A and B are shown apart, each in its own frame.
Chain A
Amino acid sequence: MLDIRDLHATVGDKEILRGISLSVGAGEIHAIMGPNGSGKSTLAQVLAGHPAYEVTGGSVTYDGEDLLAMAPEERAQKGLFLAFQYPVEIPGVTNGYFLRAGYNAIRKAKGLEEVDLFEFDDIVKERLQLVDMDPGMLKRAVNSGFSGGEKKRNEILQMAVLEPRLAVLDETDSGLDIDALRVVSDGVNKLRRPDNATIVVTHYQRLLNYIVPDFVHVLVNGRIVQSGGKELALELEAHGYAGVAA
């Protein structure tokens, strides 16, 4: 589904990604771990097409197409979803309106009919339960005045509504207490299907107790230095990143 080859990227004139290669197949969950500043979030942002990052080498193929040639909204319309590490506030726009706008934009791009308020209401109500969120959240402005935990939950709600083919969760566990972590993880697990895939970017092993990965990759200094199964995460927890840093 996703094939990253020798990817290099810079922000300003600083090289952050220094040759990343990674293949993600349908139905798989990949965890990307690594110390602060190793390039984990950069990788997530580059996949989503953030304009602040410049790709200086390598390729990314998504469902056989050149992902890097697509505009950010096109990537989203084709099923790539990024759960932001720092979700953005949009005052004045209600969460419900925002969700429906995104949902319909994606439907439109697929040539499907847009859904009206009432149809959408039914869809979103069901998904709210998945992340244990109150319908009142839909009436509040997007992320405005949300607590850290509410913002992260809201990202997962969006994921539940938009049903991406490839979800990239960027430090979704940071700022979550243990109960919220369980709710968010449950949501992600329930959304798992044989035809979609998830990349979980995290600093700590904790999240991986709940979202169990098929593969774990260790990112240090912009390169993947080690890959393995879920047991690799436990090893890292015991010995720290110093043990694997090349």
Chain B
Amino acid sequence: MGSSIETLVNREYQYGFVTDIEQDTIPRGLSEDVVRLISAKKQEPEFLLNWRLKAYKRWLTMREPHWANVTYPPIDYQNVSYYSAPRAVKPLGSLDEVDPELRRTYERLGISLTEQKRLSGVAVDAIFDSVSVGTTMRKELGELGIIFCSFGEAVREHPELVEKYLGSVVPYSDNFFASLNSAVFSDGSFCYVPPGVRCPMELSTYFRINAAGTGQFERTLIIADEGAYVSYLEGCTAPRRDENQLHAAVVELVALDNATVKYSTVQNWYAGDTEGKGGIYNFVTKRGAARGVNSKISWTQVETGSAITWKYPSVILQGDNSTGEFYSVAVVNNHQQADTGTKMIHMGRNTKSTIVSKGISAGQGNNSYRGKVQVLKKADNARNYTQCDSMLVGNRCGAHTFPYIEVANSTATLEHEASTSKIGEDQIFYCKQRGLTAEDAVSMIVSGFCKDVFQQLPMEFALEAQQLLGITLEGSVG
């Protein structure tokens, strides 16, 4: 584009600070002993250790996948520390006992760990590096029979639920990064909503990577029992560091008969600097099983951070009449790369899935949508609607679409719509002539482009996402 575009200064990543806190970090490297050490530190039962070891052995036989449309130097898995925790962590009687330094960290991130949070009606589980440092609103949720706690706590207090559902959606052998996660995951969030209960507030997990040289491998497991409903939010940030840090998470969702799980993510990991140095490698496996009849799983994601995003939140539509949804906004700027999309696997009859993907590329960013819609033999009357739109800002970015469709049942109906557009110099000038600045113009055009997805987000998250988008694109147009 012309001279007037791409001249502004980038705004600093405002969550790039480091918390100075004493941490217990194990030496870098991965071996069976490390897997055993993590399990021992967490005082896990036998079944979980064995599961980890199976995953580790499987991982050793696997190779890092390279089919995604991203490039990065080889990752040395022996040069990562697989466990890091603030030193003082011990079971807390109440959130008021959370280390003040940690509490300040979360406050800077706009997350209050004090019980005052109840006013805003959101329950938060805060994960700092490898461990959960606090979960709010537990009493209120407990009265309804809802379990919302750190994964470690769930293992200790509800081992039967963990054993029953862990790996039931994403098996330990699923893929390279999921197997790695299964071997070394340290904490995460756990949620169980009992039959017939509608969770009255948003549940939320806030992930923070702090320590240098570590990876974050958390695991989230959410189960909505028959007729239950839960809406879940996930947020993430990390300090600015020149090295790349690895984040390989697994999220499993289970919806039984007539249950709904809605999962929303605003991902704002450190993306690296304008030259592409540093940033998080985000290799995440997210999958939901719409297991029961009339069950529903809905993913909404706003991906603005990370140097590399490799992520395909998927739904297995097992139950008859089940529904799967995927709404996504993925933004890349500077040297960011994203290969993201979804898989909708129709197994049950009368299953429906909707995919709405909005990719925005700016700077030298590279954005790929990769989606698969699969209709199995018994899935009579399956329906899918896919809409996949790309927007380009500037001349040096890229947008790619890789849709895969496999249909084994002739009663299926699939629709696919796709478009590519570009924010043009003429559009910006038109807006300027009406009194708007270039940045207001871009933000307005991009928000309009993403509207269908933002509408799916819970209210307060939608505002945050919109602001984040503005910040991410700042400096891409002048």
Q: Which residues of A contact B (CB under 8 A)?
A: 48-52, 71-73, 75-77, 81-82, 84, 87-94, 97-98, 101-102, 105-106, 109, 141, 158, 162
Contacts and interface: CB of A to CB of B under 8 A. Distances in A.
B430 A158 contact: no
Nearest to A92: B448
A101 B439 CA distance: 13
A106 B449 CA distance: 24
Contact of B429 (A50, A92, A97): A50
A108 B444 CA distance: 17
Contacts of B451: 92
B436 A102 contact: yes
A91 B430 contact: no
Given A51-B3, A52-B2, A93 B448 contact: yes
Contacts, number: 79
Contact of A162 (B425, B434, B438): B434
Given A91-B421, A141-B448, A72 B432 contact: yes
Given A73-B432, A76-B433, A88 B3 contact: no
A77 B451 CA distance: 28
Nearest to A80: B433
A93 B435 contact: no
Contacts of B445: 90, 92-93
A90 to B, nearest CB: 6
B425 A109 contact: no
Contact of B444 (A50, A51, A98): A98
Nearest to B423: A90
A72 B433 contact: yes
Contacts of B431: 90, 98, 101-102
B429 A72 contact: yes
29 contacts: A48-B433, A49-B432, A49-B433, A50-B429, A51-B425, A51-B429, A73-B438, A76-B432, A76-B433, A76-B434, A77-B435, A81-B433, A82-B433, A88-B426, A88-B427, A88-B429, A88-B430, A91-B449, A92-B445, A93-B444, A93-B448, A98-B431, A98-B434, A98-B444, A101-B431, A102-B431, A102-B434, A102-B435, A162-B435
Interface string B410-430: 000000000001001111011
A99 B388 CA distance: 28
Nearest to A141: B448
A75 B434 CA distance: 9
Contacts of B447: 93
A134 B445 CA distance: 24
Given A105-B435, A105-B440, 4 more contacts: A51-B425, A76-B432, A90-B448, A102-B434
B437 interface: yes
A91 B429 contact: no
Contacts of B71: none
B226 to A, nearest CB: 40
Contacts of B440: 101, 105
Interface residues of B, number: 25
Contacts of B433: 48-49, 72-73, 75-76, 81-82, 84
Contacts of B437: 73, 105
- Closest 10 pairs (CB-CB, A-B): A92-B448, A102-B434, A105-B435, A93-B448, A88-B430, A72-B432, A76-B435, A73-B432, A106-B435, A92-B449
A98 B421 CA distance: 19
Contacts of A158: 434
A96 to B, nearest CB: 12
B433 to A, nearest CB: 5
Interface of B: 2-4, 421, 424-427, 429-438, 440, 444-445, 447-449, 451
A93 B444 CA distance: 7
B429 A90 contact: no
A105 B3 CA distance: 24
B449 A84 contact: no
B427 A90 contact: yes
A91 B449 CA distance: 7
Contacts of B438: 73
A220 B244 CA distance: 62
A51 B4 contact: yes
Given A51-B4, A72-B429, A101 B448 contact: no
B231 to A, nearest CB: 26
Contact of A101 (B426, B427, B444): B444
Nearest to B4: A51
Contacts of A94: 448
Contacts of B449: 91-92
Nearest to A158: B434
B444 to A, nearest CB: 6
Nearest to B419: A91
A167 to B, nearest CB: 12
A82 B431 CA distance: 11
Residue of B4, B424, B444 contacting most chain A CB atoms (<10 Å): B444
Contacts of A84: 430, 433
Contact of B432 (A71, A89, A141): A71
A171 to B, nearest CB: 16
Nearest to B421: A91
A169 to B, nearest CB: 13
A163 to B, nearest CB: 12
B88 to A, nearest CB: 48
A141 B419 CA distance: 16
A28 to B, nearest CB: 22
Residue of A48, A81, A92 contacting most chain B CB atoms (<10 Å): A92
Residue of B426, B430, B431, B433 contacting most chain A CB atoms (<10 Å): B433
Contacts of A51: 2-4, 425, 429
Contacts of A76: 432-435
A75 B433 CA distance: 8
Nearest to A143: B430
A111 to B, nearest CB: 14
A77 B427 CA distance: 18
Contact of A97 (B2, B426, B432, B444): B444
A106 to B, nearest CB: 4
A213 B421 CA distance: 41
Contacts of B435: 73, 76-77, 102, 105-106, 109, 162
A73 B436 CA distance: 6
A13 to B, nearest CB: 16
